[in-house]
Amino acid sequence: MKITTWNVNSLNVRLPHVLKWLEENPVDVLCIQETKMTDDKFPVAAIEAAGYQVAFSGQKTYNGVAILSKLPIADVVKNNPLFDDPQQRILAATIAGVRIVCAYVPNGQAVGTDKYDYKLAWLAAFHDWLKEQAALHPQLAVLGDYNIAPEDRDVHDPAAWADQVLVSVPERAALTRLLELGLSDSFRLFEQADKSFSWWDYRALGFRLNKGLRIDHILLSAALVARCSACAIDRAPRKWEQPSDHAPVTATLD
DNA sequence: ATGGCTCGTGTAACGAGA
């Protein structure tokens, strides 16, 4: 079973990329963030025609998450019941016995802003909810755009990024708290190339110069770590015309 | 050089992303 997370930065613009990528990489589950569309605009027919079932939770202009699956989707939950939030950032479902959580963690804009405070509050509530989910679902996978680079090796220029948003100590501590629930960063279960990133700024030749961050993650419970045989970032679609600024990340579960 | 590019909105700049 292959499970993928991909922030597509507008599904309206990126639907052709998603369909092309799925044709070349027929994964079982694809978690999408930043659909940026209301549910009535969601391209259900095109995705079903590609052989995928789909659950989604969107809003106008911002945020929005979706789960695409070749296998039946059950017990869909939208949002965190412990955190009253008009922003559509969480979608959970059970697929082939695995509890899949698709999350779009707030960006935070800049340290010290209201949006940064919202990010930390959101993460604290996410932690409390995931603690419940981990107890209910031993086979738990939490995929998404975390908007946090876990360590300095996940940052192209750690000195320049020190204490900035996406890298700051409180954000990293919030991610550590999630890992302390018994979750593992699947990417680091395996040997990986140096300077492996999942996001590159559109500006200043970010991708060409590999000035990136690794902020898209697949966290796995112990039962799924035991099944996990690979985790990889696919840089290919970042080279396509009009790409998302994020690359898809895929974990393989045996 | 406290930007650079890309998105949605809406049809001109501007907020937001990361």
Closest CA to A33 of A70, A2, A59: A59
B6 nearest neighbour residue (CA to C1'): A202
- A176, containing H or E segment: helix A169-179
Which residues, by CB, come closer than 7 Å to strand B? A 7, 9-10, 12-13, 34, 36, 60-62, 106-107, 109-110, 115, 145, 147, 165-166, 199, 201-204, 213, 215, 242, 245-246
> Pairing mode, if any, of strands A183-185 and A90-95?
unpaired
Q: Which residue has the tokens 């890992």?
A: A179
- Tell me the CA distances in angstroms from A163 to A108, A122, A160, one per residue in order: 13, 19, 9
Tell me the C-alpha distance between A42 and A114, whole Å.
30
A234 has catalytic annotation: no
The answer to whether residues A31 and A144 touch, using CB atoms and an 8 Å cutoff, is yes
Residues 6+ apart with CB under 8 A from A75: A92, A93, A94
The full DSSP string for A53-85 is EEEEE--SSS--EEEEESSPPEEEEES-TTS--
Q: What is the DSSP letter of A6?
A: E
Protein-to-nucleotide distance from the CA of A47 to the C1' of B16, whole angstroms: 28
Mean pLDDT by 10 residues, chain A (254 residues): 98 98 98 98 98 98 98 98 97 98 98 97 98 98 98 98 98 98 98 98 96 98 98 98 98 97
The nucleotide closest to A243 (CA, C1' atoms) = B6
Q: Which two tokens stand for residue A58?
A: 């969107």
Protein-to-nucleotide distance from the CA of A217 to the C1' of B16, whole angstroms: 22
Residue of A28, A145, A154, A216 marked catalytic? A145
Protein-to-nucleotide distance from the CA of A207 to the C1' of B4, whole angstroms: 13
Residues 6+ apart with CB under 8 A from A180: none
Protein-to-nucleotide distance from the CA of A202 to the C1' of B5, whole angstroms: 5
pLDDT for res A117? 97
Within 7 Å of a protein beta carbon, the nucleotides of strand B are 3-9, 16-18
Residue A199 burial by Cβ neighbours in a 10 Å radius (0-12, 13-18, 19+) = buried
> Pairing mode, if any, of strands A216-221 and A183-185?
antiparallel
Protein-to-nucleotide distance from the CA of A148 to the C1' of B2, whole angstroms: 21
pLDDT for res A203? 95
Q: Which two tokens stand for residue A187?
A: 């990417």
Residue A143 identity (one-letter amino acid): L
pTM of the model: 0.97
A145 has catalytic annotation: yes
End-to-end CA distance of chain A: 6
B2 nearest neighbour residue (CA to C1'): A110
The nucleotide closest to A147 (CA, C1' atoms) = B18
Residue A74: how many other CB atoms lie within 10 Å = 12
The answer to whether residues A34 and A57 touch, using CB atoms and an 8 Å cutoff, is no
